[in-house]
C-alpha cells in the first residue's frame, strides 16, 4: 500500500522506500522495511503500532537523527539523509521540535532555561530566548514555575515544559515520541490536549508515535505500522 | 553465607555490566601501589647494596680495629700482642675505576665495571677466609704466592667480576686510582666462596701494593681481629687496651652510620611514595562513592528484598577490598618494573650524596608482597568504609531516585568539612610539636593534604551554584550546563578533583622548595666559588675518601707560570654522634680565598684567622643538626684520641647535607695525618685567561693523571647539574603521581559522559552541533582542572613552606629563603588544565560517534 500523494506539490514530509535495520545478520532486526509516506504541512498525524514496529525509528529518520539504509526522506524540500552532522544539527534546531516520552529535560537547568536552550543554541541572545521561553511557559500554564528545576515538577508539568521547549524555535514540525507514555491517564490527557491545541493554533505539523487511543482519536490522520511497514492509513476531519 | 554469596553475586554481575568504575579503582590502587613499591624496592636495594659492600670480607673476623684517618701500619705488631687476639690481619681497601681490560695489548672491555681493591697480607689472611659455616677456599693458591708477593701489580680477581668484564688470568687492567693511571696484571681468578657473596667485586692484591696503588703508604684502613673468645668481657678488655683514637667494633657495625643517613634519605622518598598512595586512596574513595551512588537503586532493591544493613555494608566493603587486592597485585607487578628504572637514578643520587652504591633490584619476597597486598586492602577498606556505610543506609525501595542519590553524597559534605577541620587541627598540632625532628613536618604535610582533599568537594558544592548563576547572568550557554553536570555528579567529580588538587599541590610544593633551594644555591655559588680552576679526582664519587690529587700533580701545578696560588683541601669522613661528618683542612693562601665563606654567625675575618690558627668553623647543616654555635666546643676523634676545637663561626653551605667543620691545614695534619689532598682550587695570576689555563693543565696532565680540571664557570655548571640530578628523582615521582591523578580526571570525565549519554543525545536532538558538545566538555574539564588548581595554589604554598622551613631545615640543616616561583607554578597549573582539556578528547570522540536515536532509546 502506498501512502504517498502522487499528484500534489511536494508535501512538507516525504518518505520514499525507507528501510532501516539494526545489528548484523543473523541477528539483524528490521525496523522499517520500505516506508512511503507524505505528510502535508499543518497535519496532525498519529503513528500507532505494537512496540518495536518502527514508529520511533520513523520519527528519528524524519528528525535527521538517523540515516536510513535505503530510501529518501525529504523534509521541507531537503533530503535530510544527505545532511552532514552540523547541517543536521542546524536542521533540527530550525525545523524540528522534539517531545520525548521521558521528557529529557536537562536536570540542572530551570524550566525557563530548559525552554530557552534550543533558542540559545540557535544563536538568539539570552534575554530574547528567555522572553520567548517565558511566553511559552505561560502558554502551557507554567509561568509560575519558570525557575523550578525538573525534579521539582510533576511528570505532567515536565512534559508541558518539554512541549514549550519543542516550540521555542517555531519549528514547522513537532515530533513526539510517546508523549503521554510516562504519564497517568489524567495528566496524559491534559498534556495531549495542550499539545494539539498549540500545534493547531500555530499551524505546526505534528507527528506523534503513540499507543494512546486518545491521541489517535484527536489526530487528523492515523497510520498503523507493523513489522516495519505502514499497514493502514486513515484520515478524518479535524 | 548463602545470602552473602547471593548479594556479592548481584554486585559482581552489576560490576561486569559496567566495569568502568571498577577499572578506575583498579588503576588508582595499582598506580599508587606501583609508585610506593618501586621506591621501596629501589631504596632497599640501594641500602642492602651499600651494607653488603661495606661488610664485604668480614669473613670470620669477630671484630676490627679502626681509627679516624686510618691506622699507622707500625701499630700492627702491637695489636697482635693485645689480650684475646687469636688472629689479626691488616687491611687496606678502596675503589678504583677500571678503564680497560687488555689482552696482548688489545682492549677486550673498555670501560669495565669498577673494582674494590682489597689489600691483604697473604700469610695472615688464612684464618679469615670463607664465609662462616662454609669451607675455606684459597684466594691465592700456593703456586701463585711468590708472584703475588713479588709483583706489585699482581691482582687476583673475583670470579663474578672476571666473567662480567671478560677478564682472565694473564690479562692487564688499566685502572685509575688515587688520581693516577696504573696497570695491574691478572694473576688468577678466585671463586666466590673464598670471601663470600658480598666480595663479588673485591680484587685481592698484596697489602704493600694496595698502599702504593691507593696512595696510602704507611697506613692501614683497619685490622681484622678474631678473638679467642667472642664474649663481651673479652671485647671490653681488648677495647680498654687500645690507645686513644683507636676503636674496636664488630664488622657488621661498619658503615652503619652512613646506612642510617641512607635510611633517612629513603624515608624522605617513601614519604613521597606515601603521598602517591594518598592520591590513589582518594581515587578509590571517589570510585567507591560513585559506585554506591550509581547503584543506589540496585542497593535499595536489595534492601527491599530483605538484605540486612550489615550484610550490604559487608558486601560493598568486600567488593572494595577485593578490588584493592587485585589492584595491589597489579601495582606490585608494575612497581617491580618501575623499580628497575628508578634504581639507577636512586643509585646515582645516593652516590652523589653519601656513598658509592650499585643497585641490583631483587624481586620482592613473598612475605613482603603479602604485607603490601594486605596494606593495600587495608587502605582500600579505609577508603571504602564511608561509601559502604552509605550503602548500608540505603532505604528499601524498588525505584532509585536520582535526586536522592546525589543527596546521599551531599549529606556527607558536613562530615567532610568536619574531617577537614580535624586534619587541619592535626597539622597545626604537628607543626607545633616540640622537637627538632623532621617527622612532625611530614605528619603536618599529610594532615594539610587531608584538609585540602576533604575541603575541595565541600567548596565545590558551595561555589558551583553561584558560578552557574554568574554564567546565566552573563548569558553563557555552556557554563551553566557544565556547572550543572559537575554539580549533579559531585560524588564523583569532587573526589577526582581532590585527587588532582592534592597531586598538583604536591608538585607545586616540591617545585617551590626546589626553586627556592636553587636560587639560594646560585647565590651561594657566587660567593663560594671564587678560584679560577678546580681540580679533583675524576673518580671522586667512586673512590670517596680515597680520591686524591696526587702530590706530583700538585708540584707541577705550583710550578706553572700562570699559577699564583694553590688552595688545597684535605677531607676526612669522621664518625660523629650517631652519624658521620666531614672535617676539612684548608690553607686559604690568598685574601680572595678567605672571602668564600658566608658567615651566618661569628665575625668573619677573625673567625678565618682563628680557624687557620687551629680552631674551627662549622657549616650550617652541622650546626643545625647538632645544635652547635659560636663559642661551643666541637669534639671529634683524631688518630690519637679525642681533640676539641672552639667554634668561631657558622657559615652557609649547600655542598654536604651531613655538615662539616673546617680547620687550618697544619692542625688537620697534626690530628689526622696526611690523608691526601682531595681537591685543589687554583688562583691564576692576573691577566691569565681561565679557559686557556684549564686547557693547558689538561694537556699537561693527559695520560698521567685522571683528574677533572674545571674552570670557574664549569664548576658552577657542574654544581647546578648535581643539584638538578639530585632532585630529578623527586620530579620523576611527582610527575608519576600527577599523571595518575590526571588519569583519574580522564576516567571521571569519561564516566560523566557515559552517565549523561542520554542528556548529550537530547542536546544533539534539540539541535546542538557536535562542536557545541565539544565546547561543553571543554568547559567541564576546564572547571575540573580549575577547582584543583584553586586548591593546589594555597595548599602547595603551605606544603612548600613545610618542606622549606621544617622538613628541609630539620632533615638537612639548610636554611633557605622561601621564594614563590610564579612561572613554573603557573606552568604546572596550565599543564594540568591543558591535560584536562586533552582528557575530553575521548568523550568528545565518543559523542561524535554516538547514535542520537540509540542513546535516546536507552533507558
Task: Express each pLDDT in A28-74 by its tens digit.
Answer: 888 899 999 999 999 999 999 998 889 999 999 999 988 899 999 99
Tell me whether residues A106 and B487 touch, CB distance under 8 A: no
- Scan residues 721-760 of B and list those with Cβ closer than 8 Å to A: 758-759
pLDDT category of residue B588 using cuts at 50, 70 and 90: very high
Tell me whether residues A90 and B488 touch, CB distance under 8 A: no
Name the more confident of B558 and B57: B558
Contact assessment for residue B142 and residue B156, using Cβ atoms and an 8 Å cutoff = no
Query: What is the spatial distance between Cα B758 and Cα B772, in angstroms, rounded to a whole number?
Result: 16
pLDDT category of residue B101 using cuts at 50, 70 and 90: very high
- Scan residues 475-494 of B and list those with Cβ closer than 8 Å to A: 475, 477, 480-481, 483-485, 487-488
Query: What is the spatial distance between Cα B415 and Cα B28, in angstroms, rounded to a whole number?
Result: 24
B69 and B207 in a common domain: yes
B715 falls within a domain: no
Those residues with Cβ within 8 angstroms of residue A172's Cβ, 6 or more apart along the chain or in another chain: A12, A41, A76, A95, A96, A204, A205
Q: Tell me, what's the pLDDT at B586?
A: 94
Tell me whether residues B769 and A65 touch, CB distance under 8 A: no
Last residue of a domain, one of B705, B735, B763: B705
**Span A167-173, mean pLDDT?**
93
B517 falls within a domain: yes
Q: Are strands A78-79 and B63-67 parallel, antiparallel or unpaired?
A: unpaired
B813 and B852 in a common domain: yes
**What percent of chain B is modeled with pLDDT above 90?**
19
- The kind and range of the H/E element at B782 are helix B770-802
Contact assessment for residue B207 and residue B119, using Cβ atoms and an 8 Å cutoff = yes
pLDDT score of B429 more than 60: yes
Tell me whether residues A121 and B772 touch, CB distance under 8 A: yes
Q: What is the per-residue pLDDT across B794-826, written as a single tens digit (0 to 9) for each?
A: 999 999 898 888 877 777 777 788 888 888 888
Query: Integer distance in angstroms from the first to the last C-alpha of chain B?
Result: 34
Contacts of A130 in chain B (CB under 8 A): none
Contacts of A100 in chain B (CB under 8 A): 762, 856
ipTM of the complex: 0.83
Q: What is the per-residue pLDDT across B463-483, written as a single tens digit (0 to 9) for each?
A: 988 988 888 788 777 888 888
Q: Is B410 on the interface with A (CB under 8 A)?
A: no
Those residues with Cβ within 8 angstroms of residue A111's Cβ, 6 or more apart along the chain or in another chain: A105, A137, A142, A145, A146, A147, A148, A149, A150, A153, A161
Query: What is the spatial distance between Cα A51 and Cα A225, in angstroms, rounded to a whole number?
Result: 10
Query: What is the spatial distance between Cα B30 and Cα B280, in angstroms, rounded to a whole number?
Result: 8
**Among partner residues A91, A104, A120, which is closest to B762 by beta-carbon distance?**
A104
Last residue of a domain, one of B678, B705, B732: B705
Q: Tell me, what's the pLDDT at A1?
A: 42
Query: What is the spatial distance between Cα B485 and Cα B467, in angstroms, rounded to a whole number?
Result: 13
**Span A6-14, mean pLDDT?**
75
pLDDT score of B262 more than 90: no
B417 falls within a domain: no
pTM for the structure as a whole = 0.72
Q: Tell me, what's the pLDDT at B477?
A: 79
The residue among B285, B814, B246, B850 whose CA lies nearest residue B575 is B246
B75 and B50 in a common domain: no
B418 falls within a domain: no
Q: Which residue(s) pair with B705 in the sheet?
A: B180
What nine digits make up the cell of A166? 519543542
Last residue of a domain, one of B188, B221, B249: B249
**Span B167-177, mean pLDDT?**
92
Q: Tell me, what's the pLDDT at A5?
A: 45
Query: What is the spatial distance between Cα B294 and Cα B287, in angstroms, rounded to a whole number?
Result: 10
* Packed helices B712-755 and B309-353: angle between N→C axes, nearest 10 degrees: 170
pLDDT score of B421 more than 70: yes
pLDDT score of B614 more than 70: yes
**Span B152-166, mean pLDDT?**
89
Task: Give the 3-state secondary structure of residue B666.
Answer: helix
B552 and B670 in a common domain: yes
B106 falls within a domain: yes
Q: Which residue(s) pair with A104 in the sheet?
A: none
Query: What is the spatial distance between Cα B399 and Cα B402, in angstroms, rounded to a whole number?
Result: 10
B125 and B93 in a common domain: yes
Total count of domains within chain B: 4
Q: Tell me, what's the pLDDT at B118?
A: 86
Contacts of B468 in chain A (CB under 8 A): 108
B683 and B732 in a common domain: no
pLDDT score of A166 more than 90: yes
Exposure of B790 by Cβ count < 10 A (0-12 exposed, 13-18 middle, 19+ buried)? middle
**Span A193-206, mean pLDDT?**
92
B202 and B101 in a common domain: yes
B534 falls within a domain: no
* CA B587 to chain CA mean position, Å: 35
pLDDT category of residue B439 using cuts at 50, 70 and 90: confident
B393 and B340 in a common domain: yes
Tell me whether residues B767 and A94 touch, CB distance under 8 A: yes
Contact assessment for residue B11 and residue B301, using Cβ atoms and an 8 Å cutoff = no
B284 and B236 in a common domain: no
pLDDT score of B566 more than 90: yes
The whole-angstrom distance between A3's CA and the closest CA on chain B is 25
Exposure of B722 by Cβ count < 10 A (0-12 exposed, 13-18 middle, 19+ buried)? middle
Contacts of A66 in chain B (CB under 8 A): 851-853
pLDDT score of B761 more than 80: yes
B202 falls within a domain: yes
B122 and B224 in a common domain: yes
Q: Which residue has the cell 658552577?
A: B716
Query: Which structural domain, as residue segments, surrounds residue B466?
Result: 431-527+723-859
B403 and B290 in a common domain: yes
CA-angle at B51, arms to B47 and B57, nearest 5°: 155
**What percent of chain B is modeled with pLDDT above 70?**
85
Report DSSP state, residue B602: S
Q: Tell me, what's the pLDDT at B416?
A: 83
Contacts of B770 in chain A (CB under 8 A): 85-86, 89
Name the more confident of A134 and B305: A134
Q: What is the per-residue pLDDT across B263-280, written as a single tens digit (0 to 9) for each?
A: 766 666 676 667 667 777
Residue-wise DSSP of B799-837: HHHHIIIIIIHHHH---------HHHHHHHHHHHHHHHH
Q: Is B453 on the interface with A (CB under 8 A)?
A: no
Half-sphere exposure of residue B57: CA atoms within 13 angstroms, side-chain side: 26
Q: Tell me, what's the pLDDT at A89?
A: 86
pLDDT score of A201 more than 80: yes
Tell me whether residues A65 and B762 touch, CB distance under 8 A: no
Q: Tell me, what's the pLDDT at B360?
A: 67
Query: What is the spatial distance between Cα B785 and Cα B748, in angstroms, rounded to a whole number?
Result: 12
Q: Is the dihedral of CA B395, B397, B400, B402 positive or negative?
A: negative
**Span B759-773, mean pLDDT?**
87
**Span A8-33, mean pLDDT?**
86
pLDDT score of B847 more than 50: yes
B713 falls within a domain: no
Contacts of B773 in chain A (CB under 8 A): none
Q: Is the peptide bond before A175 cis (omega within 30 degrees of 0)?
A: no
- Across chain B, mean pLDDT equals 82
Query: Residue A232's CB: how many other CB atoms inside 10 A?
Result: 13
Q: Tell me, what's the pLDDT at B400?
A: 46
Contacts of B758 in chain A (CB under 8 A): 104
**Span B528-533, mean pLDDT?**
88
Q: Of the ranges A162-176, B178-192, B692-706, B837-851, which one carries the lowest mean pLDDT score? A: B837-851
Report DSSP state, residue B705: B
Tell me whether residues A121 and B848 touch, CB distance under 8 A: no
B133 and B109 in a common domain: yes
Q: Tell me, what's the pLDDT at A4?
A: 46
Q: Tell me, what's the pLDDT at A24?
A: 78
Q: Is A7 on the interface with B (CB under 8 A)?
A: no
Q: Are strands B202-206 and B112-120 parallel, antiparallel or unpaired?
A: parallel
Q: How many CB pairs under 8 A join A and B?
A: 93
Amino acid at each position: 500500500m502506498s501512502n504517498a500523494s502522487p499528484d500534489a506539490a511536494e508535501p512538507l514530509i516525504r518518505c520514499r522506500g525507507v528501510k532501516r535495520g539494526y545489528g548484523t545478520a543473523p541477528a539483524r532486526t528490521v525496523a522499517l522495511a520500505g516506508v512511503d509516506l507524505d505528510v502535508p504541512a499543518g497535519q496532525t498525524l498519529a503513528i500507532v503500532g505494537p512496540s518495536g514496529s518502527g514508529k520511533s525509528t520513523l520519527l528519528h529518520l524524519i528528525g535527521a537523527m538517523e540515516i536510513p539504509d535505503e530510501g529518501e526522506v525529504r523534509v521541507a524540500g531537503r533530503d535530510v539523509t544527505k545532511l552532514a552532522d552540523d547541517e543536521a544539527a542546524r536542521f533540527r534546531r530550525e525545523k524540528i521540535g522534539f517531545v520525548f516520552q521521558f521528557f529529557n529535560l536537562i536536570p540542572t537547568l530551570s524550566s525557563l532555561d530548559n525552554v530557552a536552550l534550543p533558542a540559545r543554541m540557535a544563536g538568539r541572545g539570552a534575554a530574547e530566548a528567555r522572553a520567548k521561553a517565558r511566553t511559552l511557559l505561560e502558554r502551557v500554564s507554567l509561568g509560575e514555575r519558570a525557575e523550578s528545576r525538573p525534579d521539582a515538577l510533576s511528570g505532567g508539568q515536565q512534559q508541558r515544559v518539554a512541549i514549550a521547549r519543542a516550540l521555542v524555535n517555531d519549528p514547522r514540525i513537532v515530533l513526539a515520541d510517546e508523549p503521554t507514555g510516562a504519564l497517568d491517564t489524567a495528566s496524559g490527557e491534559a498534556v495531549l490536549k495542550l499539545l494539539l491545541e498549540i500545534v493547531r493554533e500555530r499551524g505546526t505539523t505534528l507527528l506523534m508515535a503513540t499507543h494512546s487511543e486518545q491521541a489517535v482519536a484527536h489526530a487528523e490522520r492515523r497510520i498503523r505500522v507493523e513489522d516495519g511497514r505502514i499497514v493502514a492509513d486513515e484520515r478524518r476531519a479535524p | 553465607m548463602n545470602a552473602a554469596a547471593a548479594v556479592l553475586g548481584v554486585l559482581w554481575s552489576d560490576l561486569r555490566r559496567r566495569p568502568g568504575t571498577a577499572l578506575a579503582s583498579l588503576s588508582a590502587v595499582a598506580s599508587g601501589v606501583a609508585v610506593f613499591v618501586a621506591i621501596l624496592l629501589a631504596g632497599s636495594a640501594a641500602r642492602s647494596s651499600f651494607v653488603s659492600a661495606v661488610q664485604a670480607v668480614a669473613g670470620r673476623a669477630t671484630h676490627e680495629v679502626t681509627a679516624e684517618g686510618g691506622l699507622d701500619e707500625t701499630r700492627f705488631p702491637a695489636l697482635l700482642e693485645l689480650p684475646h687476639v687469636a688472629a689479626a690481619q691488616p687491611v687496606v681497601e678502596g675503589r678504583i675505576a677500571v678503564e680497560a681490560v687488555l689482552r696482548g695489548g688489545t682492549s677486550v672491555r673498555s670501560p669495565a665495571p669498577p673494582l674494590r681493591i682489597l689489600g691483604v697480607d697473604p700469610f695472615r689472611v688464612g684464618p679469615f677466609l670463607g664465609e662462616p659455616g662454609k669451607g675455606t677456599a684459597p684466594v691465592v693458591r700456593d703456586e701463585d704466592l711468590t708472584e703475588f708477593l713479588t709483583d706489585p701489580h699482581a691482582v687476583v680477581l673475583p670470579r663474578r667480576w672476571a666473567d662480567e668484564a671478560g677478564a682472565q688470568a694473564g690479562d692487564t687492567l688499566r685502572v685509575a686510582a688515587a688520581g693516577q693511571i696504573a696497570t695491574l696484571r691478572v694473576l688468577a681468578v678466585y671463586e666466590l666462596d673464598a670471601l663470600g657473596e658480598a666480595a663479588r667485586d673485591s680484587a685481592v692484591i698484596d697489602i704493600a701494593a694496595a698502599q702504593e696503588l691507593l696512595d696510602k703508604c704507611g697506613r692501614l684502613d683497619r685490622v681484622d681481629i678474631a678473638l679467642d673468645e667472642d664474649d663481651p668481657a673479652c671485647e671490653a678488655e681488648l677495647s680498654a687496651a687500645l690507645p686513644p683514637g683507636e676503636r674496636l667494633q664488630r664488622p657488621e657495625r661498619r658503615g652503619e652510620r652512613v646506612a642510617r643517613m641512607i635510611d633517612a634519605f629513603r624515608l624522605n622518598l617513601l614519604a613521597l611514595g606515601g603521598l602517591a598512595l594518598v592520591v590513589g586512596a582518594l581515587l578509590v574513595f571517589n570510585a567507591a562513592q560513585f559506585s554506591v551512588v550509581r547503584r543506589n537503586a540496585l542497593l535499595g532493591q536489595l534492601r527491599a528484598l530483605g538484605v540486612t544493613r550489615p550484610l550490604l555494608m559487608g558486601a560493598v566493603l568486600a567488593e572494595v577490598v577485593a578490588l584493592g587486592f587485585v589492584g595491589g597485585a597489579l601495582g606490585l607487578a608494575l612497581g617491580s618494573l618501575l623499580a628497575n628504572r628508578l634504581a639507577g637514578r636512586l643509585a646515582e643520587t645516593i652516590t652523589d650524596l653519601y656513598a658509592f652504591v650499585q643497585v641490583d633490584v631483587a624481586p620482592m619476597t613473598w612475605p613482603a608482597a603479602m604485607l603490601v597486598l594486605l596494606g593495600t586492602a587495608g587502605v582500600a577498606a579505609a577508603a571504602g568504609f564511608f561509601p559502604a556505610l552509605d550503602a548500608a543506609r540505603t532505604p528499601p525501595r524498588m525505584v532509585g531516585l536520582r535526586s536522592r542519590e546525589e543527596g546521599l553524597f551531599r549529606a556527607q559534605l558536613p562530615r567532610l568539612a568536619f574531617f577537614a577541620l580535624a586534619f587541619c587541627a592535626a597539622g597545626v598540632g604537628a607543626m607545633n610539636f616540640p622537637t627538632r625532628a623532621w617527622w612532625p613536618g611530614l605528619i603536618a604535610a599529610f594532615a594539610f593534604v587531608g584538609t585540602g582533599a576533604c575541603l575541595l568537594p565541600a567548596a565545590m558544592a558551595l561555589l558551583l551554584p553561584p558560578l552557574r548563576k554568574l554564567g546565566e547572568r552573563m548569558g553563557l550557554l555552556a557554563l551553566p550546563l557544565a556547572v550543572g553536570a559537575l554539580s549533579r555528579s559531585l560524588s564523583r567529580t569532587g573526589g577526582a578533583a581532590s585527587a588532582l588538587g592534592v597531586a598538583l599541590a604536591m608538585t607545586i610544593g616540591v617545585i617551590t622548595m626546589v626553586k627556592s633551594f636553587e636560587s639560594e644555591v646560585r647565590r651561594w655559588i657566587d660567593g663560594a666559588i671564587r678560584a679560577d680552576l678546580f681540580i679533583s679526582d675524576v673518580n671522586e664519587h667512586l673512590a670517596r675518601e680515597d680520591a686524591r690529587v696526587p702530590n706530583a700533580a700538585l708540584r707541577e701545578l705550583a710550578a706553572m707560570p700562570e699559577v699564583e696560588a694553590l688552595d688545597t683541601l684535605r677531607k676526612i669522613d669522621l664518625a660523629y654522634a650517631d652519624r658521620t661528618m666531614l672535617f676539612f683542612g684548608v690553607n686559604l693562601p690568598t685574601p680572595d680565598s678567605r672571602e668564600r665563606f658566608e658567615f651566618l654567625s661569628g665575625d668573619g675575618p677573625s673567625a678565618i684567622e682563628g680557624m687557620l690558627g687551629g680552631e674551627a668553623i662549622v657549616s650550617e647543616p652541622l650546626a643545625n643538626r647538632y645544635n652547635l654555635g659560636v663559642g661551643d666546643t666541637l669534639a671529634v676523634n683524631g688518630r690519637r684520641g679525642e681533640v676539641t676545637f672552639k667554634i668561631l663561626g657558622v657559615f652557609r653551605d649547600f655542598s654536604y647535607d651531613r655538615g662539616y667543620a673546617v680547620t687550618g691545614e697544619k692542625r688537620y695534619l697534626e690530628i689526622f695525618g696526611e690523608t691526601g689532598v682531595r681537591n685543589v682550587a687554583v688562583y691564576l695570576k692576573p691577566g691569565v685567561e681561565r679557559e686557556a689555563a684549564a686547557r693547558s693543565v689538561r694537556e699537561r696532565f693527559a695520560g698521567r693523571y685522571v683528574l677533572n680540571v674545571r674552570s670557574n664557570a664549569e664548576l658552577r655548571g657542574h654544581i647546578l647539574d648535581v643539584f638538578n640530578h639530585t632532585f630529578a628523582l623527586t620530579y620523576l615521582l611527582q610527575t608519576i603521581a600527577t599523571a595518575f591523578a590526571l588519569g583519574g580526571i580522564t576516567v571521571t570525565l569519561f564516566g560523566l559522559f557515559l552517565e549523561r549519554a542520554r542528556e548529550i543525545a537530547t542536546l544533539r536532538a534539540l539541535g546542538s552541533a557536535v562542536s557545541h558538545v565539544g565546547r561543553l566538555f571543554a568547559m567541564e574539564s576546564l572547571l575540573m582542572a580549575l577547582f584543583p588548581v584553586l586548591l593546589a595554589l594555597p595548599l602547595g604554598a603551605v606544603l612548600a613552606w613545610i618542606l622549606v622551613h621544617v622538613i628541609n631545615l630539620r632533615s638537612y640543616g639548610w636554611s633557605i629563603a622561601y621564594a614563590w616561583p610564579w612561572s613554573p607554578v603557573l606552568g604546572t597549573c596550565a599543564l594540568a588544565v591543558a591535560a584536562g582539556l586533552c582528557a575530553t578528547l575521548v568523550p568528545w570522540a565518543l559523542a561524535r560517534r554516538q547514535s542520537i536515536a540509540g542513546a535516546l532509546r536507552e533507558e
